[in-house]
Amino acid sequence: MEPVPSHAAPPPPPAHIAIIMDGNGRWAKARGLPRTAGHKRGAESVRRTVEAAREMGVSYLTLYGFSSENWKRPAGEVTDLMGLLRLYLRNEVNHLHKNGIRLKVIGDRERLGPDIVRLIEDAEAKTAANSALTLVLALSYGGRQEMVEAARRVAADVAAGRLSPDAIDEDVVGSRLFTAGIPDPDLIIRTSGEKRISNFLLWQGAYAELVFIETLWPEFGRAELESAIQEFHGRDRRYGATR
- 3 state SS of 41: helix
As annotated, the active-site residues are 22, 70
Distances (CA, A) of 31 to 26, 35, 37, 126: 9, 10, 10, 38
Which pLDDT does position 9 carry in this prediction?
75
The reply, when asked if residue 144 is annotated as ligand binding, is: no
The reply, when asked if residue 190 is annotated as ligand binding, is: yes
The reply, when asked if residue 196 is annotated as ligand binding, is: yes
Which pLDDT does position 37 carry in this prediction?
94
Which pLDDT does position 5 carry in this prediction?
57
pTM: 0.92
Residues of the chain with pLDDT under 70: 1-8, 238-243
Distance CA 210, CA 213 (A): 10
The reply, when asked if residue 68 is annotated as ligand binding, is: yes
For 188, the enclosing helix (H) or strand (E) is strand 187-190
- Residue 168 contacts by C-beta under 8 Å, 6 or more apart in sequence? 154, 158
The reply, when asked if residue 25 is annotated as ligand binding, is: yes
Say if residue 115 is exposed, middle or buried (CB neighbours under 10 Å; 0-12, 13-18, 19+): exposed
Distance CA 117, CA 123 (A): 10
Provide the β-strand partners of residue 209: 187
Which pLDDT does position 243 carry in this prediction?
58
The reply, when asked if residue 73 is annotated as ligand binding, is: yes
Which pLDDT does position 13 carry in this prediction?
95
H helix intervals, the chain: 24-30, 35-56, 75-98, 114-127, 143-159, 170-174, 222-233
Residue type, 92: E
CATH no. for 16-143+185-232: 3.40.1180.10
Summarised one tens digit per residue, pLDDT across range 38-82 is 999 999 999 999 999 999 999 999 999 999 999 999 999 999 999
Check the CA dihedral 86-26-21-99 and report its sign.
positive
